[in-house]
Amino acid sequence: MVSVEKLDKGTYFEDAFKVSFKYDPTTVAKIKELAERRYLPDDRAWEIPAHELPNLVEKLGIHNINSNSGVMDALKTKEIEDKREATQERLRGIKPVVDFDFTTTPLPHQIEAFNYGMERDELLIGDEQGLGKTKESIDITVARKKELCKCLIVCGVNSVKYNWEAEIKTHSKEKSVMLDQKTMPLRVKALNEWLRGSEYYAIINIESLRNEAVQDAIYLGIKDGFIGCIIVDEIHKAKNGTSQQGKALRMLRSPVKIGLSGTPMNKAEDLWNILTWLGIEKRSFYSFRNCYCIMGGYGGYKVVGHKNLESLNAELNKVMIRRKKEEVLDLPPKIHSTEYVELSKKQQVLYRDIKNGIIADMENILASVNPLSCTLRLRQLTGGLFTEDNPKLERIMDMLAEEIIPNGYKAIIFSQWEQIASLYNEALQEYNPVYIVGKVSPEDRQKEVERFQNDPNCKLAIGTIGAMGTGLTLNKASYVFFIDKLWNSGENAQAEDRAHRIGTAGTVNVISMVAKGSVDEGVEEYLLENQDLFDRVVDGKGSKADIKTILNKLLKI
């Protein structure tokens, strides 16, 4: 890590910065590439003029520089402005390289990815979440359908398969098959049926690749010319080349390969397996590591630094396209998406028991003042109460650790229940969260808001929709998660607007966490398509038929 300190008055330059770091020949070489710099032997540091600061950032990377907040803000602002300007210039007037009837209209940066994918058989899309990696890869593979025959999608995170199923319906006219049968022999059978069938896409999770029969079926599908393309989503999950799924990935040698990941991969050693699968890295892991990693520690087996990174970046740039949200100005103010999870087996059993109890008491429920309250325990169960299992929390932790926090963003997490908010607050303490629920006084709420807005170490705001969903400004957040929602879409929109307010920088991603096959799906559907029916029932003005309609949908009766 390189430290940068603003000097009141430099020894050699009037407006100057001192650059210091633990001796590293690679960093010294980069410093010497600057047109103006002077060595300070007494300090064992370097002095550079202010106008060389952007060049220093370009050579070392913003993430390798440590300084006070004022200097860092200036550095980041300059870097963002330069990248945004370059991106906008690059995208101005861009058109698809081939005639293609897009099912959903692409934004300019999505056309750029489309063109990139039409010209390459190996592609790594590293766009941040919210920029449309899924749509981009669907457009590319549909446009190349005649040459590809079929496309297999491998999901690095199991629950993402439902997002793919929905996105394929949204962004194409193609059909898909879900390869998630309960046993591996059944998955192999379904895979072989797909190869003989008419559906273009098949979706499978990466864990299935550990099974040899699945590997063999895919290998034969490629060899016989049926599988022309493999998309691997969350490909960083297969970065370990010695793991079962990492080894299996390298065997999937389809003619066209597309990897997707919004996770910054800053360690050279994490790129070997991915670049090898893409076909542009031919060396063994040890040759690759020796080229790009500095080894040390006890026995010399630990990676303590990196070298020759210009060469690695050149290799990566042959296949990778990556844009950040802050660089792309054509995004809408808010992007809404759904993140599906699967209930654990314990949750499924308890869910079934609660649901059966509701059905058995339906006559009394229909006659009650607030009939929708019968779903309360089901909704709390999907949020993480009543069992130790919590798939929603696990998925959020995954997204925070691998993409949101490493990319420098903050997030808000909402629930309508304090019990659930408390559970998430306790589990996510590593991110120094603010916590705002009903029992927090107005004075303390404002203190928490100021901490979230101003403390770079405070990465999360967690609270209830009732306490944190109105009147507060939390516009340092770029992501808003809903563990559950109120029955009224207006109140939910008001909560998400805590992040999207005057002064918000860039697009806000609003993510609804939904347990597949549960009451969550019905709530989302009604909030989007039939809020009036909800309102009538919640206000006590709904007929018995209205109540039955809603409960049948929510409970999937």
- CA dist 16 and 53 (Å) reads 9
Task: Provide the pLDDT confidence category of residue 2 given band limits of 50, 70 and 90.
Answer: confident
Q: Distance between alpha carbon 101 and the CA centroid of its chain, in Å?
A: 28
- Say yes or no to pLDDT of 117 above 80: yes
pLDDT at 115: 96
Q: Please report how many Cα atoms fall inside a 13 Å half-sphere around the Cα of residue 302, on the Cβ side.
A: 5
- Say yes or no to pLDDT of 534 above 90: no
Give the residue-averaged pLDDT of 489-510: 81
Contact 384, 419 (CB under 8 A): no
Structure tokens of 444? 């303390």
The full 3-state SS of 172-225, as one line of letters, equals CCCCEEECCCCCHHHHHHHHHHHHHCCCCEEEEEHHHHHCHHHHHHHHHHHHCC
Contact 180, 161 (CB under 8 A): yes
Q: Which residue has the higher pLDDT, 338 or 309?
A: 338
How much is the mean pLDDT over the chain? 89
Give the residue-averaged pLDDT of 332-350: 92
pLDDT at 226: 96
The structure tokens 């790009």 sit at 292
Structure tokens of 251? 């065997």
Contact 264, 407 (CB under 8 A): yes
Task: Provide the pLDDT confidence category of residue 79 given band limits of 50, 70 and 90.
Answer: low
For the ranges 102-111, 349-358, 405-414, 492-501, the lowest mean pLDDT is seen at 492-501
Q: CB burial class (10 A; 0-12, 13-18, 19+) of residue 135? A: buried
According to DSSP, residue 65 is labeled E
pLDDT in tens, 146-167: 999 999 999 998 889 999 999 9
Full-prediction pTM beyond 0.85?
A: no
pLDDT at 329: 67
- Say yes or no to pLDDT of 463 above 90: yes
Q: Which residue has the higher pLDDT, 515 or 59?
A: 515
- CA dist 410 and 170 (Å) reads 29
- Say yes or no to pLDDT of 186 above 90: yes
For the ranges 81-85, 126-130, 180-184, the lowest mean pLDDT is seen at 81-85
Contact 361, 400 (CB under 8 A): no
The structure tokens 């649901």 sit at 355
Residue 529 CB coordination number (10 Å): 9
pLDDT at 131: 87
Give the residue-averaged pLDDT of 173-197: 96
Residue 2 CB coordination number (10 Å): 19
Close Cβ partners of 297 (under 8 Å, ≥ 6 residues apart): 304
pLDDT at 542: 66
- Say yes or no to pLDDT of 340 above 60: yes
Residue 477 CB coordination number (10 Å): 25
CA nearest 134: which of 278, 260, 263?
Answer: 260
pLDDT at 190: 97
**DSSP per position, 17-37:** EEEE-S--HHHHHHHHTSSS-
Residue 55 CB coordination number (10 Å): 16
pLDDT in tens, 390-437: 999 999 999 999 989 988 889 999 999 999 999 999 999 999 999 999
pLDDT in tens, 269-316: 899 999 999 999 999 999 999 998 888 878 777 888 888 888 888 888
Residue 78 CB coordination number (10 Å): 14
| Alpha carbon separation from 179 to 135, 155, 185, 209 (Å, rounded) | 21, 11, 11, 12
Contact 547, 537 (CB under 8 A): yes
Q: Which helix (H) or strand (E) holds 555?
A: helix 544-555
Give the residue-averaged pLDDT of 22-34: 85
Q: Which residue has the higher pLDDT, 307 or 540?
A: 307
pLDDT at 74: 61
Q: Which residue has the higher pLDDT, 305 or 186?
A: 186
Q: Which residue has the higher pLDDT, 103 or 540?
A: 103
What angle (nearest 5°) sits at the alpha carbon of residue 91, between those of residues 88 and 97? 175
Its sign, for the CA torsion 513, 519, 525, 527, is negative
- Say yes or no to pLDDT of 357 above 70: yes
**Percentage of residues of the chain with pLDDT beyond 70:** 94
pLDDT at 72: 63
Most confidently modeled range among 54-58, 244-248, 530-534? 244-248
According to DSSP, residue 56 is labeled H
